[in-house]
Amino acid sequence: MPKVHFIGAGPGDPELITMKGARLLREAGVVIYAGSLVDRDLVHSHAPQAQVYDSSSMTLDETTAAIAEALLADKNVVRLHTGDPSIYGAIQEQMAELDRLGIDYEVVPGVTSAFAAAAALKQELTLPEVSQTVIFTRLEGRTPVPEREALQELAQIGATLVIYLSVSMIDRVVEELLQGEYTAETPAAVVYRASWPDEQVIEGTLADIGAKVKEAGIGKQALILVGNVLRARKEGLQAKSLLYDKEFSHGCRKGIVT
């Protein structure tokens, strides 16, 4: 029985697809991928024999029809998404169409760009006593955002923020964040094309990140990271995690009792 898999291709570096995702690509007869965001070489090197569709010029009806046709021709289908398919992947509507047609499918996770950006920055996003919460969000664009999730509302929490799809509106991002717990001194970073050969990292504070991003000419394919965790690298940790503390016992290790 041929199968349909939604697969996370990872953030860019072809080695950041999962082993399972790479295997399924090799076994695919048809691959549908977003040519604007996923590396063409990744598809061609793993699936040179496959029939390849670029979804950036296709409608939902067309991608669904391509999937259904492939199954009728007894071919495995891979629907390849950038990063992880569950984050701004628009997969729900595709899965709903397949459900409607009684077509079964599976989802294989991938490395979302937030984690490639954290790796580029060599930054832990959750630090004891600084922030234990990461919020993945975006500014409203053509896709509406519920009012209670407006950036200025989320800014009241003061958590680590990873902001997708918004670098072209960096001034508005900064303006909204300053209405909450963040100040002009709060560190911010922008990572452009994390894990690609032309990756760029820009670091600053909410006071200057906008100007730096514009000077670098970055208007898309970038993430904005904001929060006091970014300060720790320069100013040292306020508190260490208990996990490796010599006096802390946990399931796998007994601490030293003094």
Footprint on this chain of ligand SAH (rule: CB under 6 A): 11-12, 81-84, 87-89, 112-113, 116-117, 164-165, 191, 193-196, 221-223
Smaller CB distance to ligand SAH: residue 76 or 113? 113
Q: CA-CA-CA-CA torsion for 36, 40, 43, 46, nearest 10 degrees?
A: -160
CB of 16 to ligand SAH, least distance (A): 9
CB of 6 to ligand SAH, least distance (A): 11
200-205: strand order across its sheet: 134-138, 160-164, 222-226, 187-192, 200-205
| 3 state DSSP class of 4 | strand
CB of 202 to ligand SAH, least distance (A): 12
Smaller CB distance to ligand SAH: residue 165 or 206? 165
Q: What are phi and psi of 123, to 5 degrees?
A: -130, 130
Quick one: the chain helix, strand, coil %, rounded to 5?
35, 20, 45
CA distance linking residue 214 with residue 40, whole number of Å:
28
CB of 247 to ligand SAH, least distance (A): 39
Parallel/antiparallel/unpaired status of strands 222-226 and 160-164 = antiparallel
Smaller CB distance to ligand SAH: residue 22 or 117? 117
Residue with nearest beta carbon to ligand SAH:
83
- Of 210, 207, 52, 222, residue with least CA distance to 121: 222
Smaller CB distance to ligand SAH: residue 4 or 87? 87
Smaller CB distance to ligand SAH: residue 113 or 186? 113
CB of 52 to ligand SAH, least distance (A): 20
CB of 257 to ligand SAH, least distance (A): 44
Smaller CB distance to ligand SAH: residue 70 or 222? 222
Smaller CB distance to ligand SAH: residue 130 or 226? 226
Helices (H), 28-112: 40-46, 60-72, 92-100
Which helix (H) or strand (E) segment holds residue 118: the answer is helix 113-121
CA distance linking residue 46 with residue 128, whole number of Å:
41
CB of 124 to ligand SAH, least distance (A): 18
